[in-house]
Amino acid sequence: MKVLIARLNHETNTFSPVPTPLAAFNPSYGDEAYRANKGMRTAMAAFIDLAEDLGATLVTPVSATANPSGPVHAPAYDELTRCIVEAAPGCDAILLDLHGAMVAENSADGEGDLLARVRAAAPGVPLGVALDLHGNITEKMVHHADVMVGFKTYPHIDMYETGEHAGRLLLQMLRGEAHYCVCWHRLPLMSHTLRSTTLEGPMQGAVAAARTLEAQGLPAVTVFAGFALADIEAPCMSVVATCRADGLDAAQAAVDGLARQIWGRRDDYVYRSEPLADSLRRAQQLAADATRPVLLLDHGDNCMSGGTCDTMDVLQAALDLGLSDIAVGPLCDPEAVHTLAAAGMGAEVEIALGNKVALDHIGRHKQPLRLRGTVRAVSDGSYTVTGPIYTGQLCHMGRSVCFDIGAAQIVVTEQTHEPWDLGVFHCVDIDPTQFRYLLLKSRMYCRPVFVPLSAGLVECDSPGVTTSDFGRFPFAKVNRPVHPLDVL
């Protein structure tokens, strides 16, 4: 028995100027792809464990994942999908660890087009996929999958469990124990990422309802929040169920019912930003009597949604309002790192910092911020995550510098990086717990580590390519009407 297992993950922000060539995926092939996932917390790792328990021969053509960024370059998409498609013939089952919101220069439906090609290469072979909660589900994806299961957590901590769920159902098909198909209901609703957390609010309730449907007998039910920062036909929420073929009508009715519940709370999935100055004044009030740092989350420039990590709006506004004792990071500016590292520790330097990546798709062009300060530390920007997300993973930010401008100490890096862990500060000798404010370029993933250490959290919406202000994005391809671009 041969089981094809592969991983290809990318969440595409079509407004992002960050390029996505093949190198961005750091792909591994064959045995290396197997080793990159075995024992990890990915959906592909779960597929591997299930197939090995079955005594199957594993075919692992590729494992490739890139941080959210602009459309995948056509040669990269062609190469990575070719690896999967060419491995499909002759396999008895196919399990794919995908994202669900990939857009390539030559494919507006990256996963749907891939699944159609895989199905054509291996007709009749059971095909299952595990997807991210932020997948933009399409008719083509649903039509060509026998099993489809998505994450039920954001921040995402159930990648392995999702893979185990999808793989278990598909192997039931392989053993002739069941025949599954997929049904769905897509809503004309573009949800905001900050309203898709499963820790609270409407998404928590929707996921709980999906779990109830599973407890009542549906094999798998997923609420997909979608990823709205993509100018495609429908970057929208969906409810998807994997069901028994002989129970399709009942499953569709259940899916439709859950979709109606979500639609009834559609305004709760919309995040309405306050003016940046108002956010910072609230932070000042929180910090007045606090003994721990106040978190300032610059979610308008978050690399895990395609941000450049080099916009300076929040820091500049904070300095203009007189905030001080701020730890900032990570801010990506390779040119500044080169200058600061060359100057060396202890050197006083004036540099042009940030605002160097043009945000052409949203019409933003700002000049770098001129700052004078002292180089306090230079490192290779490596640290090991202590948890709870990606525990034990070694992270690299490229060369990293602590730049002290008096009112703030700024972690400047060569690479964009999500602040998963205190290590982003510790690696340049900063103790983030000793500051009045922590300004992080993050939306959600920093919270499990930094929120427990803080006196409070203030979300700061800056005008970057991950802003929650949909009015800044020139959507041209989205099917209208759709909420909240249109009042429905």
Check whether residue 47 and residue 145 sit in a common domain.
yes
Instruction: Let me know whether 241 and 303 are in one domain.
Output: no
- Per the document, the length of the chain is 488
Give which of 171, 130, 168 is closest to 149, Cα–Cα. Answer: 130
Cβ pair 382, 441 in contact under 8 A: no
Tell me the DSSP string of 396-411.
Answer: E-SSEEEEE-SSEEEE
* Mean of pLDDT values over 268-295: 96
Phi, psi of 368 (to 5 degrees): -60, 155
Residue 430 identity (one-letter amino acid): I
Q: Is residue 198 part of a domain?
A: yes
Residues 117, 81: contact at Cβ < 8 Å?
yes
Residue 239, in any domain of the structure: yes
pLDDT at 259 over 80: yes
Of 80-89, 135-144, 358-367, 383-392, the range with the lowest mean pLDDT is 383-392
- Give the percent of the chain with pLDDT over 90: 95
Three-state helix/strand/coil letters over 21-61: CHHHHCCEECHHHHHHHCCCCCHHHHHHHHHHHCCCEEECC
Scanning 185-331, the segments in alpha helix (DSSP H) are 201-215, 248-264, 276-287, 313-320
Whole-angstrom Cα distance, residue 165 to residue 176?
Answer: 17
Instruction: Average the pLDDT over 180-193 and give the result.
Output: 98
Average pLDDT over residues 466-477: 96
DSSP 328: E
Last residue of a domain, one of 269, 294, 322: 269
> What digits encode the pLDDT tens for the residues 76-134?
999 999 999 999 999 999 999 999 999 999 999 999 999 999 999 999 999 999 999 99
**Token reading at 444:** 């959600």
Residue 485 in any domain: the answer is: no
CB burial of 310-334 (b: ≥16 within 10 Å; e: otherwise) equals bbbbbbbbbbeeebeebbbbbbbbe
Domain boundary among 269, 290, 321: 269
Q: Which residue has the tokens 């709980």?
A: 208
Checking if the pLDDT of 211 tops 90, the result is: yes
Instruction: Give the separation between CA 276 and CA 319, rounded to whole angstroms.
Output: 13
Residues 7 and 50 grouped into a single domain? yes
The verdict on 260 and 241 lying in the same domain is: yes
Read off the pLDDT of each residue in 206-226 and give the average, rounded to a whole number.
Answer: 98
Q: In this predicted structure, what is the pLDDT of residue 393?
A: 80
* Of the candidates 155, 116, 117, 115, the residue with the CA atom closest to the CA atom of residue 133: 155
DSSP 217: T
Same domain, 257 and 284: no
- Report phi then psi at 211, rounded to 5: -65, -35
Residue 268: the pLDDT is: 97
Return the closest-CA partner of residue 42 out of 108, 97, 124: 97
E strand or H helix that includes residue 173:
helix 159-174
State CA 142 to chain mean position distance: 22
Rounded Cα distance, 150 and 135, in Å: 8
pLDDT in tens, 384-407: 988 777 777 889 999 999 999 999
Q: In which residue are the tokens 């199957």 written?
A: 56
Which secondary structure element, helix H or strand E, spans residue 142, and what is its range?
Answer: helix 139-144
Q: What tokens were used for 241?
A: 């169920």
CA–centroid distance for 225 within its chain: 12
Range of the domain at 288: 276-467
Inform me whether the pLDDT recorded for 157 exceeds 90. Answer: no
Q: What is the pTM of this model?
A: 0.95
Q: 283 and 323 share a domain?
A: yes
Residues 328 and 444 in one domain: yes
User: Same domain for 319 and 225?
Assistant: no
Average pLDDT, the chain: 96
pLDDT at 487: 87
- Do residues 160 and 42 lie in contact, with contact meaning Cβ atoms separated by under 8 Å? yes
Residue 207, Cβ density class (10 Å: 0-12 exposed, 13-18 middle, ≥19 buried) = buried
* pLDDT score recorded for residue 246: 94
177 and 290 housed in the same domain: no
Q: Is residue 483 part of a domain?
A: no
Across the range 362-384, mean pLDDT stands at: 95
Determine the number of helices (DSSP H) and then strands (DSSP E) in the chain. 14, 20
Question: Which of the listed residues 251, 269, 287 is the one where a domain comes to its end?
Answer: 269
Do 299 and 382 lie in one domain? The reply is yes
Collect all residues with Cβ–Cβ distance below 8 Å to 254 and sequence separation of at least 6.
213, 218, 221, 241
Check pLDDT > 80 for residue 475: yes
171/305 same-domain check: no
Q: What is the DSSP letter of 124?
A: T
Q: Name the helix (H) or strand (E) containing 332.
A: strand 326-332
In a domain, 479, yes or no: no
Mean pLDDT of 321-346: 97
**pLDDT computed for residue 457 by the predictor:** 96
Q: Please check whether residue 70 is in contact with residue 108, taking contact to mean a CB–CB distance below 8 angstroms.
A: no
Establish if 477 belongs to a structural domain.
no
- How many structural domains compose the chain? 2
359 and 244 in a single domain? The answer is no
Q: Beta partners for 11? A: none
Using CA atoms, how far apart are residues 24 and 293, in angstroms rounded to an integer?
A: 34
Copy the structure tokens of residue 347: 């050197």
Whole-number Å distance between alpha carbons of 227 and 222: 15
